[in-house]
Amino acid sequence: MIEVFLLKLLDVMLGTVKNAFFVRNKHFLASLLTAISTFTYFLIIVKILQINSFFSIALVSLAAFLGSYIPPIIMHKLEKAKVWVFDITPNSDEKGREFADNMRNKGFSVVTYKGYNKNKECVLCTKVFSKSKIHSKLIKKNIPKGFNWHIVSAIE
């Protein structure tokens, strides 16, 4: 019974990691994990047919939950730090200048450029670079109401 649990846990973890590899364009590793996961899946089917109990089905379901929940947490912990780029459009040119100066004074890396707001007015837009989640929270906290912003991308 514990063997079925561990096999299912492995199967789902492999599938979860496989998806992450596909997203990162590591197709060979993703395909290899797919093959191993398929083999593991068939081993599970054979074992479950031999056991044939409701408890084994519940155990496999628990393993499926844990197998999809744990890998993203581990992968997130092992991930390299990224620099996030916040693209911020003010509601006026003057407020855009004040915001950019304020962020520079707080020690953030800032790039400014001319853009257009919702009212089609030429304003000073800002890109602010965040090195961590803490920086991202500080940036979000400092963006005035009425400004439009979004995270453009992560620089790896």
pTM value > 0.85: no
pLDDT tens, residue by residue, 80-135: 667 789 999 999 999 999 999 999 999 999 999 999 999 999 999 999 998 887 88
Q: What pLDDT, on the 0 to 100 scale, is given for residue 112? A: 96
Render pLDDT for 9-61 as a digit per residue (tens, 0 to 9). Answer: 999 999 989 998 888 899 999 999 999 999 999 999 898 888 878 888 888 89
**What are phi and psi for residue 114, nearest 5 degrees?**
-85, 135
DSSP 85: E
Distance (Å, whole) CA 116 – CA 20: 37
Nearest to 56 by CA among 65, 69, 45: 45
pLDDT of residue 84: 85
